[in-house]
Amino acid sequence: MMKKAVVLLSGGLDSATVLYYARRRGYRTYCLIFDYGQRHRKEIRRAVRLAVRSRSPYRTVRFSLPWGGSALLNKRTKLPQNRAIIQTVIPSTYVPARNIIFLSFAASYAEAIGANAVFIGANAIDYSGYPDCRPEFYQALQKTFQKGLKTGSEGKAIKVHAPFIRKTKGQIIKTGLALKVPYNLTWSCYQGGRKPCGKCDSCLLRRKGFAEAGATDPALKVKGRIKRSKD
């Protein structure tokens, strides 16, 4: 029987890459997608497309955080733009306890289907401002799962895998290109427009990543724009 893993899938670069990474590692992947009042629903649609493309079953969990507390949940708050990419303070897009909430649901899903692994694409290098992207957090959470879950008390703790935690965006993209991740389906922009805005933190970070990887972002190739003039 194939080993099973739950993969947190957001529709962005990192989680798409971790999905293909887990599959290459021999896991049967089950995607978990959240609908929690993001500013736009485009990333949810993209997450679904990525799950389907990778032939992974998926589940969507809906919840709301009625207390808000993040620019990412409030359509009226202006999002940070054109700042230096490397963060030293916690950005306004921090959603209180988001990754803890996400991973708690993942643990629940994993227990219900008998999966012994959870994968998350979190990384601490380019976005060190988020406390729930730091390695120490994942170590503490691992222990929480050992102590607080049925599987843990039976000696079969669910392992939390954050394989990109110390990788740069460029390294993640290089890994993903080797794994043939369909990056054209991924969405990074904080805005939900027809095309990425190119200005928000997330767009800038993505551009920097593709530049570091020495690759072209397939999501930016607009139909008809790439001319075959040379052949």
Question: Is 100 near a copy of itself (CB under 8 A)?
Answer: yes
Q: Report, in Å, the least distance between residue 179 CB and a copy of itself.
A: 27
Is the CB of residue 16 less than 8 Å from the CB of residue 176? Answer: yes
Q: Which of 144, 51, 60 is nearest to 109 (CA)?
A: 60
Q: Report, in Å, the least distance between residue 230 CB and a copy of itself.
A: 50
Question: Is 77 near a copy of itself (CB under 8 A)?
Answer: no
Over the window 103 to 142, marking each residue x when it contacts a copy of itself by CB under 8 A and - when it does not, the resulting string is -xx-xxx-xxx-----------------xx-x-xx-xxx-
Rg (CA), the chain: 18
Which of 74, 87, 92, 144 contacts a copy of itself by CB under 8 A? 144
Cα-Cα-Cα-Cα dihedral sign, residues 44, 45, 51, 54: negative
Q: How many whole angstroms separate alpha carbon 12 and alpha carbon 183?
A: 9
Q: Report, in Å, the least distance between residue 50 CB and a copy of itself.
A: 19
Is the CB of residue 205 less than 8 Å from the CB of residue 196? Answer: no
Which one of the spans 66-74, 80-88, 172-180, 218-226 is the region binding a copy of itself (CB under 8 A)? Answer: 66-74
Question: Which residues are near a copy of itself by CB under 8 A?
Answer: 59-69, 90, 94-101, 104-105, 107-109, 111-113, 131-132, 134, 136-137, 139-141, 143-150, 152-153
